[in-house]
Amino acid sequence: MFSCTMLLSAVALTLLAVTVEASTGGGGTPNHNYDLSGPALRALYNSPVYKAERMKRPLEGTTFVAGPISHSGVRVTLANGAQWLIHKGGGYGVSSDTVVTAARHMSPSWRVVKEGNFLGRKTVADFVATGGSNYDFLFDNCHWASIRMMNQ
């Protein structure tokens, strides 16, 4: 009985943390005004990706990464060396819950968990599309999206 109560408490805390994470945009990315538009946005989305790194960071208000009790995304590096974070969260974007933000706005708590060399074969738009437009806490969250992006 005690272990069942502990498990339910852990699940409730996880749900609360993810809800707070999604509403605040944790890590300072989606809720800030770093928007590109018009030709600059089109150029970014059409840019070939040469390197991709799947990354994780603690949820907002925590100091640890423990599997799904974290936030993940993919940092891509373009031919000119520019880096962008592509990640997913409920309500992060207007037309899609997978968003792209300049990597310079990432907090230092992000850590690389996997690297991939894409040799320019995929574009930023491919990564965003693979991330998916709709967020679902259980079946299509930031972790599933970042795994799909790295495996494309």
This prediction's pTM: 0.79
Q: What is the pLDDT of residue 7?
A: 38
Please say whether the beta carbons of 106 and 61 come within 8 A: no
Mark 11-37 as b/e (b = at least 16 C-beta within 10 Å). Answer: eeebeebbeebbeebbbebbeeeeeee
In the predicted structure, residue 14 carries a pLDDT above the cut 70:
no
| 27 has a pLDDT exceeding 70 | no
DSSP codes joined into one string, 105-145? GS-TT-EEEEEEEEEEEEEHHHHHHHH-SS-BTTTBSHHHH
pLDDT of 18 strictly over 80: no
Helix, strand, or coil (residue 94): coil
* pLDDT at position 118 over 90: yes
CA 41 to chain centroid = 18
The total number of structural domains that make up the chain: 1
Domain hosting 81: range is: 2-151
Give the pLDDT of residue 34. Answer: 62
